[in-house]
Amino acid sequence: MSYQFDETLFLGNEEIDRHHGAIFEQYDRLTDAVQREDMALIREELAKIISSCSGEHVATEERLMEEYAYPQIDSHRQAHRDLDRVISSLTDRIDHDGCTVEIAKEAVEFLFRYVVGHINTFDLELASYISYVIGTMTTLNKFSR
């Protein structure tokens, strides 16, 4: 199964779209490793996806929310914290049971559904709000000349 980052998932925010595209590339590498049952590569790619989903990308989104005074910042942050808890549970399971092909399949399916759902709701709302603010600022600048 291939996880394509297609035009339906583009939000129009270059920074966020770049991060999302990189996460989808990681999904493809993980899927390939799972199909080949390459446990070393599965562990490596799973760690990269987890890091991407909860690291720099989240920090970027939260920085943008603060920068643009996003009114839904609390609920969006809570969604990030919820993912952190799920990721923590997943890594605990891997630490306890070991990383198996079955666990990797479950993880990638869950993370894929979560990321696509997050993009189509929380991130779409954020990107729309940022575009609105930028458009409003541009319009105001035209009238203030």
This prediction's pTM: 0.80
Q: Nearest-CA neighbor of 71 among 119, 132, 12?
A: 132
- pLDDT value at residue 13: 85
Confidence of residue 69 (pLDDT cuts 50, 70, 90): very high
Could you give the CA distance from residue 90 to residue 107 in angstroms, rounded to a whole number? Answer: 7
Which pLDDT does position 104 carry in this prediction?
A: 82
Dihedral angle sign, alpha carbons of residues 55, 6, 9, 119:
negative
Residue 133's CB is within 10 A of a number of other CB atoms, namely: 14
Token readout for 95 is: 């630490």
Mean pLDDT check: name the lowest of 2-11, 70-79, 90-99, 130-139: 2-11
Token pair for residue 65? Answer: 């929310």
Please tell me the predicted confidence (pLDDT) of residue 79. Answer: 93
Joined together, the tokens standing for residue 87 give: 């990721």
Q: Distance between CA atoms of 65 and 56, rounded to whole angstroms? A: 14
Distinct helix (H) and strand (E) counts, the chain? 6, 0
Report the pLDDT value the prediction gives residue 112, as an integer from 0 to 100.
83
Confidence of residue 1 (pLDDT cuts 50, 70, 90): low
Please report the domains of the chain, with CATH numbers, ordered by start residue. 12-143 (1.20.120.50)
Q: Say which amino acid occupies 16.
A: I
Q: Identify whether the C-beta of residue 15 lies closer than 8 Å to the C-beta of residue 60.
A: yes
**Encoded tokens for 108:** 């990638």
Amino acid (one-letter) located at 93:
R
